[in-house]
Structure 1
Amino acid sequence: MSLKDHIRVMVVDDMSASRGLMEQALEQVGIRTVVTCNSGDEALRQIVGQPVHLVISDYNMPGMDGLTLLKKLREHKQVMRVAFIMVTGTKDPSLMAKGREFGLNNLLFKPYTSASLKTCIEQVVGPL
């Protein structure tokens, strides 16, 4: 069984259309176990209760943004090693630097394709 058959991914985005597009792209690369959250707060609660292997989170969300979610995950002992990819339309180098400071595994820029998503994921978890 390959990694894509058992990896559990959480998609965090406040926009339902963006969550849907990410779910479609994940399905296209063969990842079937996907849970979604519409806020950083909800994601944090769910992950602590039911850990995932990988979080793919939008950066720009009201309330808790992607960087804050990442920082809070790294502070929880039981989920601090969860892989984290942040999705953004911002090409600000300081965002990547701040993300790396908090333990960001990779950054995916919008607009993305299924192929670029797959490459981004494989750079974090290995071949799917």
Structure 2
Amino acid sequence: MPAAASISTLIVDDQLSMRALIRAALIQIGITNIREAPDGEDGLRALAARPAHLVISDYNMPKLDGLGLLRAVRSYEPLKGVAFIMLTGRADIDLVARARQFGVNNYLIKPFNTLGLKTKIEEVFGVLE
């Protein structure tokens, strides 16, 4: 069982309010090592500079969308093992299929709640302490 506080997380979303909601939910879960990026390009730069254990990324963003970020993370050797949860407002089966094809660990449909986010994280990391 990993300790929630030991999981470093990068939130990537172009909406400041959504980043704040995700941050608040993570803190409730016990994940406190949190960084943020406003789009996929900044997220990729942040990960390259300092990898995280978990990326929670929106799908629909300017510059580099969530699928583009996922593909870049999976194709860059030092980041291949980073857990990746895609957050989307669309329950689109094609999007989910493409995300799975590119190696997403899990996905979460907006709107979400803290318990739903915790469940998705635990499906990737196992039960959190």
TM bucket (normalised to shorter chain) is: over 0.9
Q: Could you tell me how far apart the structure 2 residues matched to 1:37 and 1:45 are? A: 9
Q: Give % identity.
A: 45
Equivalent AA in structure 2 for residue 83 of structure 1 = A
User: 1:120 maps to which residue?
Assistant: 120
User: 2:59 maps to which residue?
Assistant: 59
Equivalent AA in structure 2 for residue 121 of structure 1 = I
- What TM-score comes out, normalization by structure 2 length? 0.96
User: 1:110 maps to which residue?
Assistant: 110
Q: Gapped runs of 5+ residues in structure 1?
A: none
Q: Could you tell me how far apart the structure 2 residues matched to 1:39 and 1:111 are? A: 19
User: What SS does the aligned partner of 1:91 have?
Assistant: coil
Q: Could you tell me how far apart the structure 2 residues matched to 1:2 and 1:43 are? A: 24
Give the superposed CA RMSD. 1.1
The superposition leaves residues 62-92 of structure 1 with CA deviations (integer Å, 9 ceiling, x where unpaired) of 1100000000011100001100000001011
Q: Could you tell me how far apart the structure 2 residues matched to 1:38 and 1:62 are? A: 9
Q: Is the 8 A contact 2:86 2:107 kept in 1?
A: yes
Task: Kindly report structure 1 stretches of 4+ aligned residues shifted beyond 6 Å.
Answer: none
| Aligned residue pairs, count | 128
User: 1:3 maps to which residue?
Assistant: 3
In the TM superposition, 1:73-84 aligns within 5 A as 73-84=73-84
Deviation at 1:51, TM superposition (A): 0.5
- What TM-score comes out, normalization by structure 1 length? 0.97
Q: Gapped runs of 5+ residues in structure 2?
A: none
Deviation at 1:2, TM superposition (A): 4.7
In the TM superposition, 1:29-48 aligns within 5 A as 29-48=29-48
User: What SS does the aligned partner of 1:127 have?
Assistant: coil
Q: Could you tell me how far apart the structure 1 residues matched to 2:49 and 2:59 are? A: 22
Q: Is the 8 A contact 2:2 2:126 kept in 1?
A: no
